[in-house]
Structure 1
Amino acid sequence: MRIFLLTALVMIAFAANSLLTRFAIIGDHIDPTGFALMRVASGAAVLALVLWWRGGALNLFQRQRAMGAASLSLYIIGFSLAYLTLDAGLGALILFGVVQISMFAYGAVFARAPTSRQLIGASFAFAGLVLVLWPGAQTQVNPTGAALMALAGLGWAAYTIIGKGSADPLANTAGNFLISVPIVACLLLVQTTQITATGLMLGAVCGGITSGLGYALWYAVLPKLAQPTAAVVQLSVPVIAILAGAALLAEPLSAKVILATLLVLGGIALAVSARSAQADHK
């Protein structure tokens, strides 16, 4: 039950990242470059402070830190730029659809293959993603935004896979964020930035709380989840983002989106059910 509650908390934090990013950028409170930099810098600051208070070490000079920072940077840059043109819920659907496909493919090739129950559940959940992304009068997807979010999804899938072996989640996440700061700052070389006080506050909350602390908690939960389960459970994030986006950002909520939401939730329930979880650990 404790792992379930912690995982649910992480998924809510992930959905909040979509809402905060979309609200900050479409509200002209901050541009994508400024938001991405503020997000990663505030995440690094909060995590470093917590790590200092705990008395831990950053362990920056490790191959895993470089890989973690590179994948985190790809995710944050693509994520921020994509929300210039995508709704919060739609962006989350593309992001975690790519994450699911990538993690299942990696697991099938390099790790334990998904069980039949997990594959069926994942198929239902992915069908919900396809339904909402299928071209139609009610759903128009910007191709550039979708491509940027797909790159972000590849970055997040790699970040999640790397996190499966995390021995010190807080220190590893802090190191990833710290190294990512100069990488993300390179965006300033090609794009000017416009920042308001509201944008700074939104970026700080997104970076320090829902990203920094949320990702540290995710790294702590990941070793206790089978990889296929970790892939599928993240599909709850688009559902949360879609419903919250409709309620808080007045984003459209059509019958097709509602049906897709039910498919995603049903697929997740099947894939992470007790019988499936038992099969994961055989």
Structure 2
Amino acid sequence: MTRLRLAILTTLTMITFAGNSLFCRMAMKETSIDAATFTSVRLLSGAAMLWMLMSLQRQSPLHHGSWRSASALFIYAATLSFAYRSIDTGAGALMLFGAVQATMLIAGFIAGERMTRIQTAGFVSAMVGLVILVSPGVEAPSVLDSILMLVSGIAWGVYSMLGRGQANPAAATAGNFLRAAPMTVALSLLALPWLRLDAQGVLYAVLSGAVTSALGYVLWYRVIQHMQAITASTVQLSAPVIAAIGGILMLGEVFTRNLLLSSVLTLGGILLALRSGKTEL
């Protein structure tokens, strides 16, 4: 894969990740749908989309993926939805991707990967940018919400690491979503007393599952084959910045100097990490 193509696919993937945050935030904050239903509709919609794509290619998705990856996917999606019911969006994004960072950096370190000085500078720059992004008006989240968001980030980091080395990323993603389907149905049954349906919330969940999750994760499984864990973890720090920009365009949020500074520091730090990181082209 050429460097340009890798950069384009990575950018598209980060946009889908940001889209997931936006859809979840809009559903939990602006509609009455409950978190369990949102999670179930999201994962079931993703499973249906991927099953359809695999059927067109005459592939059996259950021959790919794993129960470990499916479990990590389910835990990530469920805890994210419940955490975003009340947690401040900026603080949640920082905790989520901070946990992803820590998980993938530890995994990379165990695998023998080490940061160069330039990569370290890029990582620090990106983290400072995120701190600036979420600092204004951040309210201290509850302990439970904080734990849920951290667990979500750890689960996503594990899912990303398990996805490296997959020969067929699309089929592996489809297999993982299909395996996660009974888990999310069980969650909805347990949460049945708190069921709250909302048409707009369901629409957000379908878009999150079928588009930004299903298709986005196929792209992520593909690009991560060509990155070190350290580089892959740093790249994901762009998602909160993109989500913040999306909030401005879609939710009418205010563009601030802090957002501009945060974007420059975060995206600049990622550029340093990518330019000095070793990628398989």
Tell me whether the two structures share a fold, i.e. TM-score over 0.5.
yes
**Paired residue for 1:119?**
120
Structure 2 CA distance, aligned partners of 1:251 and 1:148?
A: 26
- Deviation at 1:119? 1.8
Structure 2 CA distance, aligned partners of 1:46 and 1:87?
A: 31
1:139 paired with 2:138, answer yes
Structure 1 CA distance, aligned partners of 2:16 and 2:56?
A: 23
Q: Residue by residue, what CA displacement relative to the aligned partner does 1:171-220 show, whole Å, maximum 9, x if unpaired?
A: 11011111111212232214522112222221111101110111011111
Structure 2 CA distance, aligned partners of 1:59 and 1:112?
A: 32
Conserved in 1, the CA contact under 8 Å of 2:127 and 2:266? Answer: yes
**Paired residue for 1:51?**
54
Structure 2 CA distance for partners of 1:89 and 1:16, relative to 1, 3 Å: farther
**Paired residue for 2:249?**
247
- Deviation at 1:86? 3.2
Aligned alpha-carbon RMSD (Å) = 2.0
- Deviation at 1:70? 0.9
Conserved in 2, the CA contact under 8 Å of 1:31 and 1:194? Answer: yes
SS in 2 for 1:59: helix
**Structure 1: runs of 5+ lacking an equivalent:** none
SS in 1 for 2:114: coil
**Structure 2: runs of 5+ lacking an equivalent:** none
Conserved in 1, the CA contact under 8 Å of 2:99 and 2:153? Answer: yes
Structure 2 CA distance, aligned partners of 1:186 and 1:122?
A: 39
**Paired residue for 1:264?**
266
SS in 1 for 2:146: helix
**Equivalent residue for 2:27, pick from 11, 17, 24:** 24
Aligned residue pairs, count: 274
Structure 2 CA distance, aligned partners of 1:45 and 1:106?
A: 32
Q: Residue by residue, what CA displacement relative to the aligned partner does 1:91-119 show, whole Å, maximum 9, x if unpaired?
A: 33321121112111111122422323212
- Deviation at 1:251? 4.1
Conserved in 2, the CA contact under 8 Å of 1:88 and 1:241? Answer: no
Q: Percent identity?
A: 36
**Paired residue for 2:149?**
149
- Deviation at 1:87? 4.6
Conserved in 2, the CA contact under 8 Å of 1:90 and 1:242? Answer: no
Q: How does 1:95-110 map to 2 (within 5 A)?
A: 95-110=96-111
Structure 1 CA distance, aligned partners of 2:209 and 2:140?
A: 27
